Structure 1
């Protein structure tokens, strides 16, 4: 089965979505940066086998991000100075 660009884009969106679920600012920004950097580094993959391996690695990373972000949400962290506060209307 060939991995389509639509599937890869969907995986990218899912990975960024899970990365945004981290409660801790530092973990959240690190996860988002790793996802973006990984996709930028592999954007020129042409070999179907390499694309398939990259996609499968992304699926494994998605499962890991899901587990870690769930654990992160179980604990409360103080907001850091660089993190924007939610504005009340």
Structure 2
């Protein structure tokens, strides 16, 4: 994996974990964190740049979903 891809993956991983910490519900928070860690661990040995790009796009979409969900939960409080 190229160095820039590695940095991009790590930055996205941290952003997903950070955003998941904002869930007020313990169950949602722990589920999201567990799924993020499991997904990144499962895909850590992928070397195909096209597959990496596909997974990065999927993770970015998931980050947007988490951000929307956190905003929804915070608006109900």
- Asked if these proteins are the same fold (TM beyond 0.5), I'd say yes
Query: Does residue 48 of structure 2 align to residue 47 of structure 1?
Result: yes
- Describe how 1:1-89 pairs up with structure 2 within 5 A: 4-76=5-77
State which structure, 1 or 2, has the greater radius of gyration over its C-alpha atoms.
1
Q: Which 4+ residue blocks in structure 1 deviate beyond 6 angstroms? A: none
Aligned residue-pair number: 75
1:10-60 CA distance string (max 9 Å, x none): 000000011101010000000101100000000001000000000000000
Structure 2 residue matching 1:73: 3-state secondary structure: helix
CA RMSD between the two structures: 1.3
Q: What residue ranges of structure 2 are gaps of 5+ in the alignment?
A: none
* TM-score of the pair, normalised by structure 1: 0.79
Q: Which runs of 5+ in 1 are unaligned?
A: 77-89
- The TM-score with structure 2 as length reference comes to 0.91
Higher helix share: 2
